[in-house]
Amino acid sequence: MIQKLPLASTAPVLIVGSVAYDTIITPAATQEYILGGSASYSSIAASYFAPVQLVGVVGHDFKKGFIDRFEHHGIDLQGLKISEKEKTFFWKGRYHENFNHRETLVTELNAFESFEPTLPQNYKETAFVMLGTIGPDLQHHVLDQLNGPAYIIADTIELWIDIKRKELEALLPRINLFTIDKREAMMITGETNTIRAGHKLRAMGPETVILKKGEHGALLFHESGLFSIPAYPVTEIEDPTGAGDTFAGALLGYLAAKGSTDFATLKKAMAYATATASITIQAFSMDRLNDAATALIEQRVEELTALTQF
Amino acid sequence: MIQKLPLASTAPVLIVGSVAYDTIITPAATQEYILGGSASYSSIAASYFAPVQLVGVVGHDFKKGFIDRFEHHGIDLQGLKISEKEKTFFWKGRYHENFNHRETLVTELNAFESFEPTLPQNYKETAFVMLGTIGPDLQHHVLDQLNGPAYIIADTIELWIDIKRKELEALLPRINLFTIDKREAMMITGETNTIRAGHKLRAMGPETVILKKGEHGALLFHESGLFSIPAYPVTEIEDPTGAGDTFAGALLGYLAAKGSTDFATLKKAMAYATATASITIQAFSMDRLNDAATALIEQRVEELTALTQF
């Protein structure tokens, strides 16, 4: 079992999203059939802060070693369905020199195509929930199954803005915190100014919005004001896949651990999320995040403090 | 006369650069023959913090009203040469929708073509000096005239990286602080990673480097560590011209006012520089910066503190 952060508590988080095989090509290396998917990254990240309930689907070909990895992080897999007939969702992508852009080479939905996230009975009252980058109709379906009051974080991707815009817009008033790439925020709002885009997204429903800006950090839009945090300064990026999912998972975990979602707690949560995401991008898959990241997360939060205080 | 900031002192700063007529086209408006040039922006900005000595050249067609404007800011114009035979440097440019890119439509060097910055005798021992975005050979020429020990800030533009690279590289060990656009830093160093580019520039000579990232703020590279500051969140940009020159001028002025260039002072200076630059971009030319910006600068430094502290 991993060592959790000293601040970790016993309040669980629920994470729904994709669990996938990724094949990643970077200028320096290629790795095939490694662990990927939004729920994988978010869950491994959140596991340092809180107990994790994962809901997703994999195929009959899913490696036992990856199940072991989730279990090593104490992740509850009651909600991970294993399809007997289909293979695991597969994504193959390529990054170019500066890692600012990625190209999808292959997407095979496989078991994910007919995925309907069904919550085990004991997950329905979990108070902190992450809706990973699955289709907005599936995100709605998860919300429909929740019983208690919950703090809901959701993310999305360009695909859903393109083909499920109406469902996505209907989701926004149902969630508390929308974490989204800056570029996608511009797409949804039609804005050219980042600050206006953030305000406009809040007006579409979620009380809080976080715009993720990659190497430029992240911006929080909250009724109490704005907050800006830089990325942790990484000089050697190995594979940026999953940075945003890691960020969201760590954020969720921190909020659950603190049992609070006020402005001050959200700021701190963003520091922890930034630190955790910086570990993800320094290796393929969750290879560095998997390996005793506890001390590193805390050290990087301290460095982020020094980096920003004047 | 303008009202200086309460922290302003009597230690002067020397600013050498271009003084120009600009014609600017934005998606919303066009303004013709307005006050532009690196030395103009830097001097007006610095004037809130310290007495300013300006060295530059204009043509016989330079408007009296712009001289009055400099004088209103208490700027010492002994070093501003007025060419009797030539016209003022003219630049015409256009910005597109998101202001991230600008297009040069016309450049007429005019009086600037034969400009050789000559320092009045009483400027030669000024302890805080800004070398604006003039050619590196002219920047060297200014340094050759200085008598005392001085803290030197320099900036450059893409043109000089292209055509005067050797002279620029020879300048870097002669200066203390290099403020440069991130994109240009990448050009000089051949790096694809921002953090590595900053480190590499420091290794080329200047003890301190500031990478300017526009809407993403600025990064300080110093022997004591890194520091990151976001841009002040502006929702309505009117004309981004001169933001970098304003930043550098305010930075220089703050350092002179404090009589210090240590890490802590540099961080604070960047907050003041960021606040001041945000005022510049909310109007054409120096139209907003010109107009009693003192209280606004202080208010925005406070807001930047709130924006970044966690």
Q: Is there a contact between B227 and A268 if contact means CB atoms under 8 Å apart?
A: no
User: Other C-beta atoms within 10 Å of B81: how many?
Assistant: 17
Residue A203 forms contact with B (CB below 8 Å): no
Closest to A261 (Cα-Cα) out of A13, A15, A51: A13
Number of folded domains in chain B?
Answer: 1
Is residue A199 within 8 Å of residue A186, measured between CB atoms? no
Q: How far is A182 from chain B (nearest CA, A)?
A: 12
Residue A187 forms contact with B (CB below 8 Å): no
Position A292 pLDDT exceeds 80: no
What integer pLDDT is reported at residue A97 of this predicted model? 82
Position B292 pLDDT exceeds 90: no
Nearest by CB to residue B195, choosing from A196, A199, A233, is: A233
Write the pLDDT tens digit of every residue in B184-197.
999 999 999 999 99
Q: Is there a contact between A271 and B310 if contact means CB atoms under 8 Å apart?
A: yes
Beta-carbon contacts of residue A118 (< 8 Å; ≥ 6 apart): A55, A79, A81, A145
Nearest by CB to residue A233, choosing from B192, B226, B268, is: B226
Q: Is residue B128 part of a domain?
A: yes
What integer pLDDT is reported at residue A263 of this predicted model? 98
The mean pLDDT value for B129-140 works out to 96
Spatial separation of the C-alpha atoms in residues B254 and A19, rounded to whole Å: 52
> Which of chain A's residues have a Cβ under 8 Å away from the Cβ of B251?
none
Spatial separation of the C-alpha atoms in residues B281 and B277, rounded to whole Å: 7
Residue A237 forms contact with B (CB below 8 Å): yes
> Which of chain A's residues have a Cβ under 8 Å away from the Cβ of B98?
192-193
A-B Cβ pairs (cutoff 8 Å, strict): 83
Residue B308 forms contact with A (CB below 8 Å): yes
Nearest by CB to residue B235, choosing from A196, A227, A264, is: A196
Q: Is residue B23 part of a domain?
A: yes
Nearest by CB to residue B233, choosing from A195, A264, A270, is: A195
What integer pLDDT is reported at residue A100 of this predicted model? 75
Query: B129: domain range?
Result: 13-308
Residue B135 pLDDT class (50, 70, 90 cuts)? very high
Residue B98 forms contact with A (CB below 8 Å): yes
Collapse the DSSP code of B35 into the 3-class scheme (helix H, G, I; strand E, B; otherwise coil) and give the result.
Answer: strand
What integer pLDDT is reported at residue A291 of this predicted model? 75
Closest to A29 (Cα-Cα) out of A236, A277, A292: A236
Average pLDDT across chain A, whole number: 96
Nearest by CB to residue A268, choosing from B236, B271, B310, is: B310
Q: Is there a contact between A193 and B235 if contact means CB atoms under 8 Å apart?
A: yes
What integer pLDDT is reported at residue B99 of this predicted model? 83
Tally helices (H) and strands (E) across chain B: 10, 13
What integer pLDDT is reported at residue B102 of this predicted model? 87
Q: Is there a contact between A228 and B309 if contact means CB atoms under 8 Å apart?
A: no
> With pLDDT > 70 as the criterion, what percentage of chain A qualifies?
100
Write the pLDDT tens digit of every residue in B21-70.
999 999 999 999 999 999 999 999 999 999 999 999 999 999 999 999 99
The ipTM assigned to this model is 0.91
Is residue A176 within 8 Å of residue A207, measured between CB atoms? yes
Distance of CA A166 to the CA centre of its chain: 22
Write the pLDDT tens digit of every residue in A77-90.
999 999 999 999 99
> Which of chain B's residues have a Cβ under 8 Å away from the Cβ of A233?
195, 226, 228
Output Rg (C-alpha) for chain B, integer angstroms: 18
Reading the block at residue A103, the tokens are: 């190209």
Give the torsion through C-alpha atoms of B198, B200, B204, B205, to 10 deg: 40
The DSSP output letter for A62 is -
Spatial separation of the C-alpha atoms in residues A40 and A169, rounded to whole Å: 26
Write the pLDDT tens digit of every residue in A118-174.
999 999 999 999 999 999 999 999 999 999 899 999 999 999 999 999 999 999 999
Q: Is residue A198 part of a domain?
A: yes
Q: What is the CATH number of the domain that holds B254?
A: 3.40.1190.20
Write the pLDDT tens digit of every residue in A88-110.
999 999 999 878 788 999 999 99
What integer pLDDT is reported at residue A132 of this predicted model? 96
> Which of chain B's residues have a Cβ under 8 Å away from the Cβ of A98?
192-193
Q: Is residue B3 part of a domain?
A: no
What pTM was computed for the model? Answer: 0.94
Is residue A145 within 8 Å of residue A53, measured between CB atoms? no
Write the pLDDT tens digit of every residue in A231-265.
999 999 999 999 999 999 999 999 999 999 999 99
What integer pLDDT is reported at residue A102 of this predicted model? 87
Q: Is residue B303 part of a domain?
A: yes
The mean pLDDT value for B294-310 works out to 96
Nearest by CB to residue A306, choosing from B216, B225, B309, is: B225
Residue A101 forms contact with B (CB below 8 Å): no
Q: Is residue B72 part of a domain?
A: yes
Tokens 């200085």: give the residue: B146
Residue B98 pLDDT class (50, 70, 90 cuts)? confident
Q: Is residue B4 part of a domain?
A: no
